[in-house]
């Protein structure tokens, strides 16, 4: 088969692409991952702009309009105090997604630093860090979360700190494994021969090669944190009302009367959780396939 001029030019352009350029090229070819990416952009945009431009506030109480079904005035109805559930749904998205982002940022920062030190130095440093990580990983995750939240309270800062504290060992082990492999490469021997400091070797020459795995972990971690916050909120140990999150909005489903007769209380946040978690997981899988050298053709 004779290749067209466009195909030849496209192949030549790809050969000149950087590593990340080729990764994004492969990611763009994954239609399901790109669809998930754009769906997440839509959800995040609505969480930002709907509460900003709506005439209703999440704290606006109206006894006259309480327990209304979805209508032209209140698109998702109102709750038992007359608050607009459409605005609360997307304000809750701000809290749930923001909390997940903060947890993932903290756990990745701690995990990357500790995993890098463990893999680079080895010896006693590796033993101490990995034994601490194994101690944290040995706790039953949800039971430990419930215990700590019950003791120290369920404010947003406490939840962020607790979830990050219990989650960093996973990414630390991933980073450590990669660093152990990379530190034996020839270019690292050249860095040592040139007298480059340990700090520069770790953060300038090693970590950029691990960044792809961290991005994939962070994408999948967002979905995990959203589900964890939802579980804690359903048990009454998540973010305290009246601050809404998707988790504590679903908590209303604990009442059988609401499950049977007031679907607008709990189905919309459930749908948002389902779509967000599914999109983060699909996007994470797509990024993993794009980064994996075995996927390269």
223-274 pLDDT per residue, tens: 888 888 888 887 777 787 778 888 888 887 777 777 888 888 888 998 999 9
Average pLDDT over the chain, rounded to whole? 81
pLDDT attached to residue 278: 92
Contact 191, 199 (CB under 8 A): no
236 sits in the region (left: phi over 0; alpha: psi -120 to 50; else beta) called: left
The share of the chain scoring above pLDDT 70, in percent, equals 88
Residue 200 reports pLDDT greater than 80: no
pLDDT attached to residue 1: 46
**Taking the model in full, what pTM does it have?**
0.83
Nearest to 71 by CA among 85, 56, 50, 52: 85
SS3 for 285? helix
pLDDT attached to residue 14: 54
- pLDDT digits over 25-69, tens only? 888 888 888 999 999 999 999 999 988 888 887 777 777 777 788
20-54+84-295, CATH topology level: MetI-like fold (1.10.3720)
pLDDT attached to residue 3: 52
DSSP notation for 155-167? -HHHHHHHHHHHH
Stretch 272-289: mean pLDDT: 88
pLDDT tier at 275, thresholds 50, 70, 90: very high
Say how far apart CA 268 and CA 91 lie, in whole Å: 13
Stretch 88-114: mean pLDDT: 91
pLDDT tier at 217, thresholds 50, 70, 90: confident
SS3 for 84? strand
Weakest mean pLDDT among 67-76, 177-186, 193-202: 193-202
């Amino acid at each position: 088969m004779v290749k067209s001029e466009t195909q030849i030019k496209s192949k030549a352009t790809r050969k000149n692409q950087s590593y990340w350029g080729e990764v994004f090229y492969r990611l763009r070819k994954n239609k399901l991952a790109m669809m998930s990416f754009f769906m997440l952009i839509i959800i995040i945009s609505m969480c930002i702009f709907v509460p900003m431009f709506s005439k209703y506030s999440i704290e606006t109480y109206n006894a006259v309009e309480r327990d209304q079904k979805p209508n032209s005035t209140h698109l998702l109805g109102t709750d038992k105090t007359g608050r607009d559930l459409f605005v609360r749904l997307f304000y809750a998205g701000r809290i749930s997604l923001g909390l997940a982002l903060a947890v993932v940022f903290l756990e990745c920062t701690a995990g990357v630093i500790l995993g890098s030190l463990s893999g680079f130095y080895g010896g006693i440093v590796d033993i101490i860090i990995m034994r601490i990580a194994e101690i944290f990983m040995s706790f039953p995750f949800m039971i430990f979360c419930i215990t700590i939240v019950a003791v120290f309270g369920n404010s947003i800062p406490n939840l962020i700190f607790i979830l990050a504290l219990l989650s960093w060992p996973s990414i630390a082990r991933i980073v450590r494994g990669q660093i152990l492999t990379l530190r034996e490469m020839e270019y690292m021997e050249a860095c040592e021969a040139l007298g480059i400091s340990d700090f520069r070797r770790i953060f300038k020459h090693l970590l950029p090669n691990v960044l792809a795995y961290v991005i994939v972990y962070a994408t999948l971690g967002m979905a995990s944190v959203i589900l964890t916050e939802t579980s804690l909120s359903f048990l009454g140990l998540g973010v305290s009302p009246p601050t809404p999150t998707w988790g504590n909005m679903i908590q209303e489903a604990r009442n059988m009367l609401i499950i049977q007769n007031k679907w607008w209380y709990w189905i919309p946040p459930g749908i948002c959780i389902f779509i967000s978690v599914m999109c983060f997981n699909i996007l994470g899988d797509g990024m993993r396939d794009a980064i994996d050298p075995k996927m390269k053709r």
